[in-house]
């Protein structure tokens, strides 16, 4: 199974049970932002450090601007390129924090995450396909 995952092009970390359709689950970055106030101080520090690194090193796709303009729908989500290991490694502490606070975090892999509406070296944003 690990070899199959290694060949996939994209990865996403989402919060939700295995019985839930992963296409519609919230990503860990959004969940970390939404739940920040409910976390203890050490966990908040980890979340802030994670966000600080991402803000300094990875382009932020223009979600708000493109959603307001009608270019993207609310179903557009970010996927990291599996070949770019550094951002994936930088998400691991956030994943551990969320799990420690009772959230089920899943790792989802895909070759075709949907219609790509944004792309950079590190990630793509794709409209989630219906089926």
pLDDT recorded at residue 13: 97
pLDDT tens digits along 5-39: 557 999 999 999 988 888 889 999 999 999 999 99
pTM, 2 dp: 0.86
* Strand, coil or helix: 122: coil
The one-character DSSP state at 59 is P
Check residues 18 and 58 and name the one with the higher pLDDT.
58
DSSP string, 84-119: -HHHHHHHHHHHHHHHHTT--EEEEEES--SEEEEE
pLDDT recorded at residue 7: 79
pLDDT tens digits along 84-126: 999 999 999 999 999 999 999 999 999 999 999 999 999 999 9
For the record, the structure tokens of 50 come out as 């994670």
């Amino acid at each position: 199974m690990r070899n199959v995952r290694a060949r996939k092009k994209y990865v996403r970390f989402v919060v939700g049970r295995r019985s839930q359709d992963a296409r519609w689950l919230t990503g860990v970055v959004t969940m970390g932002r939404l739940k920040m106030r409910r976390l203890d101080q050490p966990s908040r520090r980890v979340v802030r450090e994670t966000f600080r690194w991402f803000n300094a090193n990875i382009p932020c796709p223009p979600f708000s601007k493109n959603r307001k303009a009608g270019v993207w729908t609310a179903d557009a989500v970010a996927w990291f390129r599996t070949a770019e290991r550094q951002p994936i490694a930088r998400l691991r502490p956030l994943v551990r924090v969320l799990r420690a606070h009772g959230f089920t975090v899943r790792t989802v892999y895909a070759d075709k995450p949907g219609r790509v509406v944004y792309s950079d070296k590190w990630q793509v944003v794709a409209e989630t396909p219906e089926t």
